[in-house]
Structures are given as C-alpha cells and as structure tokens.
Amino acid sequence: MRTQVGIVGAGPAGLLLSHLLHQRGIESVVLEARSQHDIESTIRAGVLEQGTMDTLKNAGLGERMQAEGALHHGFELAFEGQRRRIALTELTGHSITVYAQHEVIKDLVAARLAANGALKFNVSNVTLHDFHDGSDRRPRIKYRHEGRDEELECDFIVGCDGSQGVSRQCIPEAVRQDYQRIYPFGWFGILVEAPPSSDELIYARHDRCFALISTRSPGVQRMYFQCDPKDSVDAWSDDRIWAELHARVDTADGWQITEGKIFQKNIVGMRSFVSTPMQSGKLFLAGDAAHIVPPTGAKGLNLAVSDVRVLNAALIDFYKESSSDKLARYTETALKRVWRAEHFSWWMTRMLHKLDDISPFEQRLQVAELEHVTTSTAATTALAENYVGSVAV
C-alpha cells in the first residue's frame, strides 16, 4: 500500500493533520492502535484557545463545538477566600471554548470517515523504516492489522502516537535531547451530575492545595483537586471529596460549589516534557509524541493543533510549491510555541499548587503573586494573552 503521508496515531494531531491534508488534495493513511470506540470514549478535558477554535471552524469541523461547547470570555482565580476574574475577551479580544478532547476526536473521526479517509483501527506491531537521511528507499511503516502483516510506503511519516508510542523512540538517542520535570503531585478528577457551580472556570489556590472547578455540559461538571499521585481512588469517599473541595474553593462571601452525584473518579500524574528535535529525516513528531504539559495551563490539545498547523503548511509547500524549506525548519518553528506554552503551564502550576518543599514564606509569595496578576493591568493582560494563546512567538 502506498500513500503520500503515513500518520501513526489517531489522536487530535493525527486526525486533524489527515483532514487538513485531504482538503488540499494530499493523501494520507492514519494507523491507530486502539479501537474507534476506545479513542472516542476516553474522557479528557478540553479548553480550546481562539486559534484552535478558528482552525476547527475553518476546516469545517466547528458545528458541534459551537453548538455544544461552552464559550467563555474569562475565568476566575480564587485565593484567600475571594475570587477575582481574568477578563480574557476584554483584555485580548479573544475567548476560549470548553469542549472535551474526546468530543473533538469524534468530530474528526466523523469527518475522515465521511471523506472516505484511510483510517485503520486496532493496528499492532508498528515499526518505522527507511525514514533516515540518505536512505535509498521511501519510508515504510510495517504493522499488523486484522490478522495480517502489512506495509505502508509513503513520502513522509508523522508520529502522532503520544508519549508512549513508537515514533519518538525511533529518533536516535545520539541526536535526541529529552527535557523533563515530574511534579510531586497529581490531580484527583471527578465527573458530577449537577448544574454549573460557576459560569466560568475557577482556579483555586489554598493552603490545603489546589483545586479547579470546570464544566462539561449544563448537567455535568468536571472538578479536580491536588492529591498525591500514588493515592488510591478507593480512599476517597464522596463525602470526603466534597469536604475537601468545599474547604479549598468556597469563598468568604458565602458562595459554595454545587454538589451532585459523582459518577467518575480518577487520578492523573503531572509532568512537563519536551523532546527535540521534532524531526529526523522524513519522520516528524506532533502533539504528545514530542511534548507534554501539566494541565494547569490548558495547553495540551492546543499545542497539538499548533504543531499540525505548522506541519500542514510545510507539507503543502512541499507538494504544491516543491519547497522543503518549511519542512527543514519544522522543529525550530514548532518549538518556539512549545517552550512558550511549557513556561506558562509551569508558571501557572507553581503559582497555584502546594509543593512538597514549599516553606510558609514561599506560600505567602504565591499569594503576593496572585495579588499582582489580578490587580496589575500589565500582569493580568500577560496572563490572559498566554491563556487564550495570542502571545506572539
């Protein structure tokens, strides 16, 4: 089997790249280890930046996002028993949409299937070959599908198979540099049958640790609180969860979060990670295959879309203009946005979470910083610009 671009991984990056290439007449095949049901039902939160919203709408993928997503023009920072609003649209002219990542994936899968795109699920034993500079053969992806060993020949391979996939490991260690920061805490997440506690997201800094109040739909809410990543979900009864969230988020004026039936609990670890270069010969990485951010800054999905915009433009230049310049600069171009988002996510995480080694002195510095970013016009604007993704890089 032959194609122009072989894509490993049917996450947001792989599916969106395939769709955008299709719209410009460039062929691709997407190979995914999981089933369609699995990728569409793995629940992950999603805060979409203005640029991500625009990319989906311009690609004809925004109808359900606009109808079912929650458009927000700001968010709130809670600390010292009070809440202060960051007016995103007023400060930047841009907004965000709360729309879960698995819903984005549903839209992308539907679009690829409607276009008769080559999308193979339940693929195993994936190996990448002949993508290195100097190879006298076209790149190939070998894999097993529906009980048969198969091979896909292509011009380029794009690895969108996440942090545990095979693509990044194929870049030689001699030329690859990995940067990582593992945080000593995780997030305990719950899904709740309840009306929204707030019209907008609430990020809460408390001496008892961080909490986040988000939304999923008018009747389902998403909430998180900082925990030990080695903790057990079974150790947290519903009553204990609500007591902890009330302690961290309720404000001095009598406002309280809205309780409801908890129907899902999970714990996720947190880390910052960047692997460079994001390309090797005719292999390119996008999304979580190249970088991970803690969810505090809401950048994970948006960084994947940013990578895809850069790589899509480079591939179009190659096929339509016979130019390899943008492909050669893919890592350099993509990493400017990646490191900006990594810094913002790290900064938000450090400002809002209780670190294991933090002293009472440093806890008061966190409060002082929150006072600054919620009262200084310059600081608030910088926060808003980073959050909506309008910072120039």
Cite the active site residues: 72, 203, 295, 299, 387
- Coil, strand or helix: which one is 45? coil
Q: Which element (helix H / strand E) includes 271?
A: strand 261-276
**Facing residues of 220 across strands?**
193, 217
* Torsional sign, CA 60, 66, 69, 75: positive
Q: Which tokens sit at 112?
A: 């690829």
User: Does the bond joining 218 to the residue before it have cis omega, within 30 degrees of 0?
Assistant: no
- Spatial contact of 349 and 183, defined as CB atoms under 8 Å apart: yes
Distance (Å, rounded) from C-alpha 189 to C-alpha 290?
25
In this structure, what are the phi and psi dihedrals at residue 114, rounded to the nearest 5 degrees?
-65, -30
Q: Which long-range contacts (CB under 8 A, 24 or more apart) does 137-142 make?
A: 139/6, 139/281, 139/282, 139/283, 141/6, 141/8, 141/31
- Spatial contact of 152 and 139, defined as CB atoms under 8 Å apart: no
Rama region for 60: left / alpha / beta (φ>0; ψ in -120 to 50; rest): left
Q: Count how many Cα atoms sit within 13 Å of the Cα of residue 278 in the half-sphere of its side chain.
A: 31
Quote the Cα angle for 110-34-143, to 5°: 105
- Spatial contact of 353 and 359, defined as CB atoms under 8 Å apart: no
